[in-house]
């Protein structure tokens, strides 16, 4: 995990010497995950002492119940919403297993909606203070970001909200610190009588960016520099924290192409200067950086006797299209039509994979699928070169092509289907295993992150203080986009998630007991169709060879980051009132 504090250069001196300085505090409330599918477990004991748990979880893994790992199976083939809250094993899962053992029959435990506000974690509130120093042209010279969050009396959970400030903008650099500038960050926790917080989409980044990108907007007004231009002037090819070059960083393209799609050049900069009839119109922008997680994963790809293929991995599909993308990647590597590839996921009896967290599945677990498919293809090619009645004997492996379910030797005008090849060699199937074992990102030669720039237009009723999102454009650099349709769906979902964060969501506590008083959707508001206009999404990144064999970087949670500051910046542009405490409610604008 990251260090709690960081210091590059001399932040105190940099801020003291800055021509322009702002210091602001931003606060965000506790929030809950509110997955559509509640937490649920079905526990089944077999006669031989094997325990099988059908669990709504983002991580199939054996539990500690005194049961040998080889006699514990966990199954979750599809998830109806997790958002980080199902990354842990909670008490109800253990209770289901224990109860099933006692009554000697299957037991199912499902939490009620009310119990999901008290038994399975939440996102911690934060109080963040940011100081920015810049010259008169808006170029950052110093940045300090301090964050505090509550945790339980028995836990040390830290919400690393200031993490993004170490990497996003050039206010100093490790290899240039002697010249000038400085960046410092810190994180503290306060122990309170409350349950332990957990991660919630997008942990750390969504909270930290609200403070950082709101402060950047305030700096733009303080210096008189356009908010997009201010960010372009502080762009960098080198990670300020580590001094390493970024693997790829298309943030400039996110800003410029996103601004062009949005029509930013038609914006008038003065607050309260744009109207649509009686409504105040505001436009805001915010950028984002998102951590790229690199985790090991395994997969198996089997060519069947009928020429179809099966992908197997203990990874998850949590609604992001993992089944589709894994089938697509395997099909491409094997030269098969996607509908000839089946996928099995979410079972501890399958090749081990990492949890479905951190927007990491496409880059890591699917990379293992790619390697497994290549291994199966190579075995098939070897059979064609040296197997029984080898049709391509005496040629080189590189001369063999795969397409349309066939291996082809173009120069000799020869081909054979997978089904024919396996039958010729007396095989019912042919399996390839793939293991992706990347170097941790912090130990690599380059800094690997995803990036975005998002643009929001709001309409505000000046009499009622009601804010409505009118337009939204998101531009994303997540490396190679494996499937534009599923990627766009992830982006739309992330934007909607961010709208809930900024305009609606807050978990409220009883000041006397410290308990959360929310029990259902009547008191905890989430966006509905009526809250969301048409959303425009574009992808501007390219293949990132450092990130993954597939060239992909994390996308899903990136799309929920900086939605909040883009909207609050738009609210300021519309009304002249700066909201530094989420959510944006009407009483804060009246």
Categorise residue 315: left if φ over 0, alpha if ψ from -120 to 50, beta otherwise.
Answer: beta
pLDDT tens track for 245-280: 999 999 999 999 999 999 999 999 999 999 999 999
Sheet with strand 40-45: strands edge to edge: 72-75, 51-55, 40-45, 107-110
pLDDT confidence bin for 515, thresholds 50/70/90:
confident
Residue 299 scores a pLDDT above 50 = yes
Alpha carbon distance 246, 240 (integer Å): 10
Query: At 383, is the secondary structure helix, strand, or coil?
Result: helix
Query: Percent of the chain having pLDDT more than 70?
Result: 98
- Domain locations in the chain? 6-31+122-292+443-588, 40-117, 297-438
Checking if the pLDDT of 178 tops 70, the result is: no
> Is the pLDDT at 179 greater than 70, yes or no?
no
pLDDT per position as a tens digit, 31-45? 999 999 999 999 999
Residue 392 has pLDDT above 70, yes or no: yes
Least trusted range by pLDDT, from 67-81, 328-342, 531-545: 67-81
Strands 20-28 and 126-134: what pairing? antiparallel
Helix (H) or strand (E) holding 363, with range, is: none
Report residue 64's pLDDT band, with 50, 70 and 90 as the boundaries: low
Q: What CATH number is given for 297-438 in this structure?
A: 3.30.365.10
Q: Is 557 a catalytic residue?
A: yes
Indicate the SS3 state at residue 344: strand
Among 275, 281, 283, 231, CA closest to 252: 231
Residue for token pair 């501890």: 348
Backbone dihedral angles phi then psi of residue 111, each to the nearest 5 degrees: -70, 145
The predicted model gives 198-214 an average pLDDT of: 95
CA pair distance 174, 243, nearest whole angstrom: 5
Tokens of 10: 């001399």
Count Cβ neighbours within 10 Å for each residue of 416-450 and write b for 16 or more, e otherwise.
bebbebbebeebeebbbbbebebeebeebebbbbb
What CATH architecture applies to the domain 40-117? 2-Layer Sandwich (3.30)
Q: Tens of pLDDT along 156-174?
A: 999 999 999 999 999 875 5
Nearest to 323 by CA among 178, 482, 532: 482
What per-residue confidence (pLDDT) applies to 383? 96
Predicted structure pTM score: 0.95
Q: What is the 3-state secondary structure (H, E, C) of 49-85?
A: CCEEEEECCCCCCCCCCCCCHHHEEEECCCCCCCCCC
pLDDT of residue 125: 97
What is the rounded distance in angstroms from the CA atom of residue 235 to the CA atom of residue 248?
Answer: 13
Q: Class for domain 6-31+122-292+443-588, per CATH?
A: alpha beta
Q: Over range 279-296, report the average pLDDT.
A: 96
Which one is catalytic: 159, 218, 505, 557?
Answer: 557
Contact by Cβ (8 Å): 569, 286: yes
Helix axes 322-334, 366-386, angle to 10 degrees: 20
Q: Alpha-carbon distance 22 to 27, whole Å?
A: 17
- φ/ψ (deg, to 5) at 143: -150, 125
| Nearest Cα to Cα of residue 457 among 309, 258, 321 | 258
Q: Which one has a higher pLDDT value, 197 or 180?
A: 197
What pLDDT shows up at residue 176?
A: 47
Give the model confidence (pLDDT) of 407-447 as tens digits: 999 888 899 999 999 999 999 999 999 999 998 877 889 99
Structure token pair of residue 158: 């830290």
Give the pLDDT band (50/70/90) at residue 180: low
Secondary structure element (H or E) that encloses residue 331, with its range:
helix 322-334
What is the structure's pLDDT at 63? 62
Count of residues in the chain:
590
Task: Check if 6-31+122-292+443-588 and 297-438 are the same fold.
Answer: yes
DSSP characters over 155-210? ------TTGGGGTSS-S--TTTTTTS-EEEEEEEEEE-SSPPP---SSTTHHHHHH
Mean pLDDT of 531-535: 96
Structure-block tokens of residue 240: 């300020």
Mean pLDDT of the residues in the chain: 94
pLDDT of residue 224: 98
């Amino acid at each position: 995990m990251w260090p709690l504090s960081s210091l590059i250069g001399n932040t105190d001196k940099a801020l003291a010497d800055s021509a322009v300085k702002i210091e602001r505090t931003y606060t965000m409330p506790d929030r809950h995950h509110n997955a559509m599918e509640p937490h649920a477990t079905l526990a089944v004991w077999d006669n031989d002492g094997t325990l099988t748990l059908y669990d709504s979880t983002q991580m199939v893994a054996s539990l500690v119940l005194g049961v040998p790992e080889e006699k514990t199976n966990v199954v979750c083939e599809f998830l109806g919403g997790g958002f980080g809250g199902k990354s842990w094993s909670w008490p109800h899962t253990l209770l289901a297993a224990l109860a099933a053992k006692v009554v000697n029959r299957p037991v199912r435990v499902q939490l009620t909606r009310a119990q999901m506000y008290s038994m399975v974690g939440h996102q911690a509130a934060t109080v963040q203070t940011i100081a920015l120093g810049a010259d008169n042209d808006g170029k950052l010279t110093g940045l300090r970001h301090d964050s505090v969050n509550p945790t339980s009396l028995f836990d040390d959970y830290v919400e690393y909200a200031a993490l993004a400030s170490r990497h996003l903008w050039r206010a100093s650099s490790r290899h240039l610190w002697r010249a000038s500038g400085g960046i410092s960050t810190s994180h503290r926790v306060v122990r309170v009588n409350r349950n332990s917080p957990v991660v919630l989409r997008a942990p750390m980044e969504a909270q930290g960016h609200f403070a950082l990108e709101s402060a950047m907007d305030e700096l733009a007004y303080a210096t008189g520099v356009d908010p997009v231009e201010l960010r372009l002037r502080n762009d960098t090819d080198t990670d300020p924290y580590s001094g390493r070059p970024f693997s790829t960083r298309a943030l400039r393209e996110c800003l410029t192409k996103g601004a062009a799609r949005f029509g930013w050049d038609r914006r008038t900069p003065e607050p309260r200067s744009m109207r649509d009839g009686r409504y105040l119109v505001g436009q805001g922008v915010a950028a984002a950086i998102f951590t790229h997680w690199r985790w090991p994963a395994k997969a198996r790809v089997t060519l069947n006797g009928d020429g179809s293929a099966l992908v197997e991995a203990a990874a998850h599909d949590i609604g992001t299209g993992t089944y589709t993308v894994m089938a697509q990647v395997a099909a491409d590597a094997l030269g098969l039509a996607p509908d000839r590839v089946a996928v099995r996921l979410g079972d501890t009896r399958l090749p081990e994979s990492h949890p479905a967290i951190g927007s990491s599945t496409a880059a890591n677990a699917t990379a293992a699928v790619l390697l497994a498919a290549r291994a199966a293809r190579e075995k098939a090619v070897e059979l064609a070169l040296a197997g029984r009645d080898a049709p391509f004997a005496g040629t080189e492996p590189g001369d063999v092509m795969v397409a349309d379910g066939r291996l082809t030797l173009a120069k000799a005008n020869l081909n054979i289907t997978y089904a024919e090849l396996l039958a010729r060699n007396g095989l019912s199937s042919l399996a390839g295993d793939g293991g992706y074992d990347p170097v941790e990102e912090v130990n690599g030669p380059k800094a690997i992150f995803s990036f975005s720039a998002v643009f929001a237009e709001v309409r505000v009723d000046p009499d009622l203080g009601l804010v409505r999102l009118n337009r939204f454009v998101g531009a994303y650099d997540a490396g190679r986009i494996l499937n534009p349709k599923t990627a766009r769906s992830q982006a739309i979902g992330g934007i909607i998630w961010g709208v809930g964060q900024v305009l609606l969501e807050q978990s409220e506590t009883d000041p006397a007991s410290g308990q959360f008083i929310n029990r259902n959707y009547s008191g905890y508001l989430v966006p509905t169709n009526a809250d969301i206009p048409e959303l425009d999404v574009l992808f501007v990144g390219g293949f990132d060879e450092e990130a993954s064999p597939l060239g992909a970087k994390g996308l899903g949670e990136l799309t929920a980051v900086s939605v909040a500051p883009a909207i609050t910046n738009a609210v300021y542009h519309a009304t002249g009132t700066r909201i530094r405490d989420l959510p944006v409610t009407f009483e804060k604008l009246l």
